[in-house]
A = this chain, B = another copy of it.
């Protein structure tokens, strides 16, 4: 398969997908987020092919999402930890979880819960406007061209 590269598009969705658009990457990110930071741990948890996992980790490190860190010099052992950039990307996971919980979780209920540090309660994340703090969902916005728009592009 030849995969089209998105990085050149004047579209922040495409540029984000260029980093984690391939199906395994968000799951790898999730594993690192919840503390599974080592190669074999992630490989066994996800059942991903070792070859593909090695490729993805390399790409995520190159993209500045993860950092490969030595946790033992003899024998040489490494683990993967989130950078600031990578941690912010995990916000995307929260929103994915929310949608998945609402539309695909079924009768058993959500597989995991999130306890919010600020209030100590189990809460759900919701999108709100940084200006007026009211809910700001996709259904609550109009799309307008911005400064980084290329001449004939229309997308986001």
- A residues sitting closer than 8 Å to B (CB atoms) are 1, 3-4, 6, 10-17, 19, 21-23, 26-27, 30-31, 33-34, 36, 45, 47-48, 85, 87-106, 108-119, 121-150, 153-156
Contact = CB atoms under 8 A, between A and B. Distances in A.
B99 A118 contact: no
A144 B122 CA distance: 9
B45 A110 contact: no
Contact of A155 (B17, B112, B146): B112
Contacts of A119: 129, 131-132, 134
B106 A96 contact: no
22 contacts: A13-B30, A13-B100, A17-B26, A21-B26, A33-B138, A88-B102, A88-B137, A105-B148, A108-B148, A110-B148, A111-B146, A113-B145, A116-B131, A117-B141, A119-B129, A121-B129, A121-B132, A123-B130, A124-B130, A125-B128, A127-B127, A133-B133
B21 A17 contact: no
Given A12-B100, A16-B100, A119-B134, 18 more contacts: A12-B101, A12-B110, A13-B30, A13-B96, A15-B104, A17-B96, A19-B104, A34-B156, A45-B155, A88-B99, A90-B137, A91-B138, A108-B147, A111-B149, A115-B144, A117-B142, A118-B135, A126-B129
